[in-house]
A and B are shown apart, each in its own frame.
Chain A
């Protein structure tokens, strides 16, 4: 148990001042602007928004700067900030079928309506360090936009193109399970009420959406390696802008609040069927703020693994253990508990020390007695 300690105020003040100095670094160099972080470290900012569970690019950029690039610390700052604000209400569910798509690929259908759009991706890069980027201003020139520089402009759509979800295409033939119907019930909110296991799918999705990317990546990976194998395919990944619609109580009608960027992953998995259901594909779903593709994929894999009971599968692997998976995926909770170990525990340890000394004395006495 952690017992409050007193003292050290001056040392703590000085440590914080030193932290600020180290964060600023060499003062001969310009301080990084939040706009630069937002524009050039976009994916770090996206991760902070996703796991901080708060969409605000400027605040997430500030958190990245203040945390000296420590993203879990930045996420912690965002989580702390969100507790200071009142909640106006709940938005209508985002409609990802009406996304302004900036990237959209399917690993299952090569000729899908709307096309395969690679967008800004690391896929197919050679993962060679580009030393020119380190060469200052002149080395970091993006060039003309691909359109202007003579990309294939033949089929650039003048108007938004319909982008049906891949799962809708399979669904038309009944080859894939339908999404659970919206019965109008309010989804459980883990930020408002304590979680009691087992939980429903909506609770799992909320927990996973803010869960640690690395943790979910490892668990998702474990399912691929045979721990609850589900034979996954990426049905579709899409990233882009979706509109936020909110019904304003005082107006009595819906208002568009602007757009947010999200990544959606539809994982398609084998299912052999059951007594009630013929063989069909099942689904795991991932939805994450920002361009967080690795996270969306990992989330979808883990989400599918957690559905073993509903699908009548055998439980055999860590990724299927709902309480274990969900209660350890929050990196703010995890870092809080792990890192608190370095705070003063002198009183606890003193008690443990006394106990060990007493046990040793008793042990010694017993040995002596046995020898006599």
Chain B
């Protein structure tokens, strides 16, 4: 997301920035997404390119962690595709069954693609990003507090 600060004149940079935004939107709670939409109002009317729906994605692992893939099990995923009146088309794919949240995320994805509104969308994403970073930091710190140094002892009888 730091990439956004620089000029997005390169297509691959733009795509990477959009991917980073979509990754954030996939991790947002429904209330965070609706709060973002409220903050970004007014928003053009959105029409569904296809009905929002919940389905499955097969998750895979790799044999030995880095080898040939195998099917591990499925996860629920909700998706939405919207078109904003006079604007862009937005997509969302998120783990879970909240189709309303997926639709909100798709609308925000569409807004992000509008260069005029991108900065506002980025600003609206800031608190979500901070929350996710704080949670990851807390998890790392809690885990680090359980770091042990085992040491081996020489057996008396040897």
Contact = CB atoms under 8 A, between A and B. Distances in A.
Interface of A: 49-50, 53-56, 58-59, 82, 85-94, 96-97, 100-103, 110-111, 115-119, 145-147, 151-153, 155-157, 160-161, 165, 167-168, 178-183, 185, 187-191, 201-203, 205-206, 209-210, 241, 243-244, 246, 248, 250-251, 253-260, 262, 264, 266, 283, 285, 287, 289
Interface residues of B, number: 55
Contacts of A94: 59-62, 72
Given A147-B145, A251-B91, A266-B64, A86 B56 contact: yes
Contact of B56 (A82, A110, A147, A205): A82
Lowest 8 A-B CB distances belong to which pairs?
A: A179-B67, A179-B64, A151-B145, A256-B23, A202-B70, A55-B75, A258-B95, A53-B73
B41 interface: no
A257 B95 contact: yes
Contacts of A111: 149
Contacts of A183: 68
Contact of B27 (A119, A258, A264): A258
B86 to A, nearest CB: 21
A201 B151 contact: no
A167 B144 contact: no
Contacts of B67: 178-182
Contact of A258 (B56, B60, B62, B94): B94
25 contacts: A54-B56, A55-B74, A55-B76, A58-B97, A88-B55, A89-B57, A90-B60, A91-B60, A94-B62, A101-B143, A102-B142, A103-B146, A110-B150, A111-B149, A146-B145, A167-B65, A182-B67, A187-B68, A187-B71, A201-B70, A202-B63, A202-B69, A248-B91, A248-B93, A266-B65
Contact of A205 (B61, B74, B76, B146): B61
B59 A118 contact: no
B73 A88 contact: no
A93 B58 CA distance: 10
B152 interface: yes
A167 B64 contact: yes
A93 B76 CA distance: 16
B147 A117 contact: yes
Nearest to A258: B95
Contacts of B53: 86
Contacts of B54: 85
B74 to A, nearest CB: 5
Contact of A244 (B22, B57, B71): B57
A253 B26 CA distance: 15
Given A59-B97, A146-B142, A258-B96, A187 B147 contact: no
Contact of B146 (A54, A110, A146, A266): A146
B65 to A, nearest CB: 5
Nearest to A89: B57
Given A87-B74, A110-B150, A246 B69 contact: no
Contacts of A178: 64, 67
Contacts of B111: none
A157 to B, nearest CB: 6
Contacts of A165: 65-66
B97 A90 contact: no
Given A55-B73, A201-B70, A285 B147 contact: no
